[in-house]
């Protein structure tokens, strides 16, 4: 149906979960420890599938950053080991 293997689907789901967990930590830190994270934060609350899907469509090998990359996108790329 999707053309993706079960292994790839699980991989994409794991990335979405990792982003959600990271963002929840950022949100909690921002609220509980004012000043630790300076400036503003833009969280992806609920947009994990869009982030992971976009990156999967662009391709993992790209080295360019989209101009509106969210915190989760940056953390997801930074946390993904090279293949």
**Domain boundaries along the sequence of the chain:** 6-79
- Give the pLDDT score at 2: 65
Q: Is the dihedral of CA 44, 63, 40, 21 positive or negative?
A: positive
Tell me the pLDDT tens digit for each residue of 1-49: 468 889 999 999 999 999 899 889 988 988 898 888 788 777 877 888 8
> Who contacts 44 (Cβ-Cβ below 8 Å, separation ≥6)?
19, 23, 50, 51, 70, 71, 72, 73
- Give the pLDDT score at 37: 79
pTM of the model as a whole: 0.63
Q: Report the C-alpha gap between 83 and 80 in whole angstroms.
A: 9
Instruction: Provide the pLDDT confidence category of residue 69 given band limits of 50, 70 and 90.
Output: very low
**What is the distance of C-alpha 18 from the center of its chain?**
7
């Amino acid at each position: 149906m999707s053309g993706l293997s079960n292994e790839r689907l699980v991989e994409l789901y794991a990335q979405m979960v990792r982003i959600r967990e990271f963002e929840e930590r950022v949100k909690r830190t921002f609220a509980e420890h004012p000043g630790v994270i300076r400036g503003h934060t833009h969280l992806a609350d609920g947009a994990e599938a869009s982030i992971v899907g976009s990156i999967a469509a662009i391709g993992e090998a790209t080295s360019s950053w989209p101009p509106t990359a969210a915190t989760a996108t940056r953390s997801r790329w930074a946390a993904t080991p090279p293949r």
